[in-house]
Amino acid sequence: MYVAVKGGEAAIGNAHQLLAEDRRGNPDVPELSVAQIREQMSYGVDRVMTEGSVYDPDLAALALKQARGDQVEAIFLLRAYRTTLPRLAVTRPIDTAAMQVSRRISSCFKDMPGGQLLGPTFDYTHRLLDFALEAEGAVPQAEGKGSLSDSLPQVVDLLNAEGLIERELPDAEDAPVGDLTREPLMFPAGRDVRLQNLARADEGYLLALGYSTQRGYAKSHPFVGEIRSGAVAVEIDIPELGFAVDIGDITVTECQMINQFKGSKTEAPKFTRGYGLAFGFAERKAMAMSLVDRALRAEELGEDITAPAQDAEFVLYHADNVEASGFVQHLKLPHHVDFQAELTLVRTMRAEIATAQAESEAELAEAAQ
């Protein structure tokens, strides 16, 4: 008779079992292994690592398997695991100039010192479904694997020689770097914190915001100074040894966007920069990030803040898909107490209006007699 939500415990247990069964799909089809996901769904793995803030392709592949391919759910799984990990050390800044590049392009110059390398890219493929892939078993072999030197100057640095682009000087070695996973986002947010927020931000959100800057909402005349993807060494300082030790390589994609700057009262016109960095091969993300990073520098560069992409509070508070997904979906939770309070209020207000109307009608009727 009393039908309110009862037996939550049993319902949750059943739902979890159903989920597990559904996740596996048809048992006649062989199960996906984590290694298969890691090797063959690698761009999906890269995104989960980037937004999950952990460089671990195995864990990211496991998260994707558990999440049935749902990226945001997989990112959430990885983040929730990340918070339980101890922090053993802080690495030295990675040196992307010393990257072993598998891809390097610039849209600003026809050629540049060190050369360009297209690498494994979807660019210039015709997006025709390849039905040959349905027949499994082929092991494609690439013949023309190019390679570039191990030390390639950044294209943006080449512009430095003429003073045409703003200089980006590194902070002092011992300067503190913000960390959003330890401290809350506060405003005004420094560029370190903004970039961390954007690196963890939802790719689709950044893509839309970056796109909006190209359509006139905070136009910044962007050019791809350089995009490079490849392996970089990660080093940590060992105080006992007194020098840095290489602990392994990670693959990253970096985008240096060059933007026009009209100049101000005190500064001559020159080019400015937007920066994007992501784990793995995540070019779309890195490019969108660099557009939004540049837009968020409006205040620092003395530009008018007129568009959403320039509004740091708006951009940074809504960028995290784990936060956004949770809060949007919490609307599924029962809200019947608040709803009941609203219901009571609306009924009271409607009753008051009905009474007032009846009274005024009665008065009119009296006056008419």
Closest by CA to 311, choosing from 181, 194, 178, 222, is 194
Q: Count CA within 13 A, CB hemisphere, residue 247.
A: 14
Task: Check residue 184 for interaction with other proteins (CB under 8 A).
Answer: yes
Shortest reach from residue 89's CB to other proteins, in Å:
14
Smallest gap from residue 348 Cβ to other proteins (A): 8
* Site stretch for other proteins (CB under 8 A), options 108-116, 218-226, 245-253, 323-331: 323-331
Lookup: tokens for 106 = 């610039």
Q: Could you tell me the CA-to-CA distances from 173 to 91, 153, 335 in Å, in that order?
A: 12, 22, 50
Neighbours of 67 (CB within 10 A): 18
Distance between CA atoms of residues 311 and 74, nearest Å: 29
Distance CA 64, CA 77 (A): 9
Q: Which is nearer to other proteins, 211 or 317 (CB)?
A: 317
Near other proteins in 134-173, by CB under 8 A: none
Work out how close the CB of 114 gets to other proteins at its nearest, in angstroms, rounded to a whole number.
Answer: 40
Torsion angles phi and psi, residue 106, rounded to 5: -140, 140
Is residue 278 within 8 Å of residue 50, measured between CB atoms? Answer: yes
Least distance from other proteins to the Cβ atom of residue 341, Å: 4
* Minimum CB distance to other proteins, residue 155 (Å): 36
What are residue 236's DSSP bridge partners? Answer: 91, 245
Looking at the Cβ atoms of 80 and 358, the one nearer to other proteins is 80
Closer to other proteins by CB, 39 or 342: give it: 342
Residue of 153, 156, 157 lying closest to 259 (CA atoms): 156
Measure the CA–CA gap between 192 and 305, rounded to whole angstroms.
20
State the Cα–Cα distance between residues 239 and 221, nearest whole angstrom. Answer: 45
Verify binding: residue 5, other proteins, rule CB under 8 A: yes
Residues contacting other proteins: total by CB under 8 A: 53
The residue among 149 and 340 lying less far from other proteins, judged by its C-beta, is 340
Residue 9 as a binder of other proteins (CB under 8 A): the answer is: yes
CB nearer to other proteins: pick between 267 and 352:
352
Q: Between 110 and 182, whose beta carbon lies closer to other proteins?
A: 182
Interface characters, 75-94, with other proteins (x: CB under 8 A): -x--xxxxxxxx--------
**Rounded Cα–Cα distance for residues 156 and 112 (Å):** 11
- Residues 336-365 contacting other proteins, CB under 8 A: 336-338, 340-345, 348-349, 352
Site for other proteins in 278-297 (CB under 8 A): none
The CB-of-277 to other proteins minimum distance in angstroms stands at 21
Cα–Cα dist 245/235, whole Å: 5
Question: Residue 15 has which token pair?
Answer: 């739902």
Residue 323 contacts other proteins per CB under 8 A: yes
Phi, psi of 295 (to 5 degrees): -60, -35
Q: Which of 32, 41, 94, 185 binds other proteins (CB under 8 A)?
A: 185
Phi and psi angles of residue 38, each rounded to the nearest 5 degrees, phi first: -60, -40
Burial 177-192, CB ≥16 within 10 A → b, else e: ebebeeeebeeebeee
**Stretch touching other proteins by CB under 8 A, among 7-15, 89-97, 107-115, 298-306:** 7-15
Q: Which of residues 186-205 bind other proteins (CB under 8 A)?
A: 186-188
Q: Please, what is the minimum distance in Å from the beta carbon of residue 75 to other proteins?
A: 10
* Alpha-carbon gap, residue 103 to 118, rounded angstroms: 5
Interface ranges with other proteins (CB under 8 A) = 1-9, 11-12, 76, 79-86, 181-188, 313, 317, 322-323, 325-330, 333-338, 340-345, 348-349, 352
